[in-house]
Structure 1
């Protein structure tokens, strides 16, 4: 062994000068300092630029110009979702092939000949500055000189002076958060901004978009807040400790405790949510549907709403209602709504979950509504504009146009659906001696919003995209879900607007949640699509946290065993219940883990409720005192 070691040492000694001699020689470098893409065959040119803002921060911007473009309009999207990824360099030499990702619609952008502009908002991915979730507009909550509107203004100012093949006209569009930035662009807009299309926009995160719905916290959004808020490039991702999110959040007790267990108390936005569980001034002062009407609407704007939007089914309609009340704003206001999930309008959309629509409703919208709207303002004003409201009527599966949506408030045109004994539902008079319907709500066994296992958004096998359109029979089979069902319809019954539930109930607890679902019950057999026999399609659903039954800003405990009225406004509906179908209303007190559990014992902050606060409660619904107001009418038989 010693001899071998000695020989090895000798060999090493002789080899060292040779290595040293080789290291003195220059070695070729595999990677050039600045690689240049050979893009002569591309049908577009790409430019990555850092555009300076008024405070010196530079924002990463991708500009895609079709080859041969002249006097082209520019279509911009401002996003926290990685502009570079939304225009993947090198994946193809054809512009149409690199754009079918998030917010990109080749049949609109490429066929329209537009210059595409994608920008990372400040603090995300390639842009400098600090990220603030839904950065408030300048004012009481933002004492700086910048917000999303100023960043948009500064970007447009740079574009009109530095993109020579454009006609100087800019449009902005986007889905979800990018719909939020499309709305913020309307505050003190740049003169070159000619059109805006906010699709499924985040408008008010407490009233009914991503974070809360009427005070109930959307627990399934914790991973989003974690991923977006922790790092500039989403380098740190939410981690699961259970395959079934139902188990994860149940074992975690409260939403605040689950967030803290993952270090989310380091995130500014999470800390704000914990500090503002009620609809106080912090939320009100950043609600865009409160702010924009005060500014006025100076740019032609088409709001786009998905009737089965699982994430932001509040914003577009709330903004439309708020702006439509302003007579001057109406001249610049349009609305389109269809049978889509969140962002479904930019994709193929021939199905509504398991329901066959028999046509591509997304393509129809893009071809007949969106494209002419953009072209009118960015290309040629002689192109006819679409109707003020273009709406898809589910059930009948037809497109229709209107001058305006019905008022959200009920009037003489409203129909009243009243609760009836024996779990019935009917039109007309109050039942005599109707009595009560009761169920027990146990926070240890909350009602799941989809059948278990509940797989989180973005994970393989998740049903998140279409949970609003899923069959509700699993919920109906639970003893803690009340189902009230009408007789079989003999004529079509059409509903348009936002149904309003007047729910009278008592609870043995001192707090509680109330979920209301309006459902179309299919016939037991459907010849055209057998799998939908008996299907229970949720047309609309919403939740109210009981402590906010009188005031969203000032919560108060529920007096135990005393009947209270719980007003629940449901999201927009445009649906026909066909002959042979039945109308159903479901009532329950949990929708988990979509929303955090209510402990049913009043605590100051449910986000931080201790384990011992979670207790069962018996809910008694007063039949005679409960009804649903809807803009509905019975039609002649089809």
Structure 2
């Protein structure tokens, strides 16, 4: 019993120390934001009259005549907290931006949370708009930027956009038929194709568990603007996912037993099982033409959600807008790992340095400062790639690198992989391999 009490005391002390180690940093950032920024909320009109809820943080010293660029983040995941007196605990891609001085703008996209209108997941781009009702995420971004540069006091007329995952997609869309004030964009782990490789499908294979859990909330009806979304499904009745889905039976039972046909995004997924016009119209890749702002696409090698997106977005701009300023950064990160934590490890694998901090300080902030604040050119390479194993950042003047060769990996017995095919596969004329 004495030993148990001793162990419990050690655990309690450890938890208290951990809490004390984490809390001051959060409080320090929160205090800094409140001391240096003023928050305001506005309903920003789009060309068709729909108004989008927009949360704006402006440096207090604009009163002395200082001017700052705008950093815009458009999101389907809420700009919370709502209310002029309630502040975010962090601003920008990292707190380095908040301390450097920017105007930060967060906007609920059309049909989400406190914004008006109807939501459409990855709304198809309309190339030749004929009237105000022809709107998409590119036009909504254009209208938002137009309003911001005209109405937000203390801005220097330059705008940058960024976002991770779905907000990364919205950053991507700002680069298509972009507003003249948009000078830099950083789509990070951007959703680029929900069928071929991002989130819901990978090469057409449906990711059932992740999709059901996510879409149960993300696709739930929202009849009127609301600060809180409907919660996702939680009545699994078992901690065993395999057991739940075996008992659920065929996919049609999801609607019959749970969604009752009300979840529009789930219905769209079920109705479009092949790479048809529905999916093809939702990828921005064919529309990367004459991209004018500088672009820096960011992704993580260990991102199981959106590894496809950043590589495909970068490739699409290179192919369809070859004269554009377009860069790629790929690090040893999970989904969004470059924006949180130090990036020193993944599980038990160590990378030998704080890769996320390096990226934030030496790549991300200098990129935006150069294009939005006329800071010196950091002379970033075309591709900044972290090589695991060697644990080194490599720089390239193109991606894939010159003289690189694509190879196949082959499945071997006992769970092994090799660049050499097995004798059995050669004899049978089969090559169980993947690129």
How many residues align? The count is 392
Distance in 2 between the 1:126 and 1:422 partners? Answer: 53
Q: How far did residue 625 of structure 1 move?
A: 3.0
Change (3 A) 1:204 1:424: closer
Distance in 2 between the 1:163 and 1:423 partners? Answer: 58
Change (3 A) 1:249 1:387: same
The residue that corresponds to 1:99 in the other structure is 90
1:156 is paired with a residue of what secondary structure?
helix
The residue that corresponds to 1:313 in the other structure is 307
Distance in 2 between the 1:62 and 1:412 partners? Answer: 46
What does the per-residue CA deviation read over 1:229-270, in whole Å, with 9 as the maximum and x for residues that have no partner? 214431232123222222211221233423442115212222
> 386, 394, 397: which one pairs with 1:403?
397
Change (3 A) 1:253 1:384: same
Alpha carbons 1:120, 1:127 under 8 Å: kept: yes
Alignment of 1:626 with 2:411, yes or no, is no
Bigger RCO (CA 8 Å, 6+ sep): 1
The residue that corresponds to 2:142 in the other structure is 153
Distance in 2 between the 1:312 and 1:141 partners? Answer: 30
Alignment of 1:283 with 2:275, yes or no, is no
Q: How far did residue 145 of structure 1 move?
A: 1.5
The residue that corresponds to 1:304 in the other structure is 298
2:198 is paired with a residue of what secondary structure?
coil
Change (3 A) 1:227 1:412: closer
What does the per-residue CA deviation read over 1:490-539, in whole Å, with 9 as the maximum and x for residues that have no partner? xxxxxxxxxxxxxx9xxxxxxxxxxxxxxxxxxxxxxxxxxxxxxxxxxx
Alignment of 1:468-479 (within 5 A): none
Alignment of 1:175 with 2:164, yes or no, is yes
Distance in 1 between the 2:234 and 2:130 partners? Answer: 32
> 116, 122, 126: which one pairs with 2:110?
122
> 143, 152, 177: which one pairs with 1:188?
177
Q: How far did residue 139 of structure 1 move?
A: 6.0
Q: How far did residue 381 of structure 1 move?
A: 4.8
TM-score, normalised relative to structure 2 = 0.82
> 244, 248, 262: which one pairs with 2:240?
244
The residue that corresponds to 1:263 in the other structure is 259
Q: How far did residue 382 of structure 1 move?
A: 2.8
Q: How far did residue 141 of structure 1 move?
A: 13
Change (3 A) 1:309 1:40: closer
Identify the structure with the greater helix proportion: 2
2:80 is paired with a residue of what secondary structure?
helix
What does the per-residue CA deviation read over 1:531-581, in whole Å, with 9 as the maximum and x for residues that have no partner? xxxxxxxxxxxxxxxxxxxxxxxxxxxxxxxxxxxxxxxxxxxxxxxxxxx
Alignment of 1:377 with 2:371, yes or no, is yes
Alpha carbons 1:160, 1:166 under 8 Å: kept: yes
2:190 is paired with a residue of what secondary structure?
coil
Distance in 1 between the 2:218 and 2:201 partners? Answer: 17
Alpha carbons 2:160, 2:184 under 8 Å: kept: yes
1:42 is paired with a residue of what secondary structure?
helix
The residue that corresponds to 1:292 in the other structure is 287
The residue that corresponds to 2:190 in the other structure is 201
Distance in 1 between the 2:413 and 2:348 partners? Answer: 32
357-366 or 137-146, which moves further after superposition? 137-146
2:162 is paired with a residue of what secondary structure?
strand
The residue that corresponds to 1:413 in the other structure is 405
Distance in 2 between the 1:296 and 1:137 partners? Answer: 15
Q: How far did residue 415 of structure 1 move?
A: 4.7
Unaligned runs of 5+ in 1: 1-38, 437-503, 505-621, 631-638
Unaligned runs of 5+ in 2: 1-31, 223-227
What does the per-residue CA deviation read over 1:91-112, in whole Å, with 9 as the maximum and x for residues that have no partner? 67xxxx7216xx74212x2122
2:179 is paired with a residue of what secondary structure?
coil
What does the per-residue CA deviation read over 1:350-396, in whole Å, with 9 as the maximum and x for residues that have no partner? 11133222322111111111111101110015332311110111111
The residue that corresponds to 2:230 in the other structure is 235
Identify the structure with the greater strand proportion: 1
> 87, 92, 99: which one pairs with 1:111?
99
Distance in 2 between the 1:40 and 1:184 partners? Answer: 29
The residue that corresponds to 1:324 in the other structure is 318
1:329 is paired with a residue of what secondary structure?
coil
184-193 or 374-383, which moves further after superposition? 374-383
Q: How far did residue 316 of structure 1 move?
A: 0.8
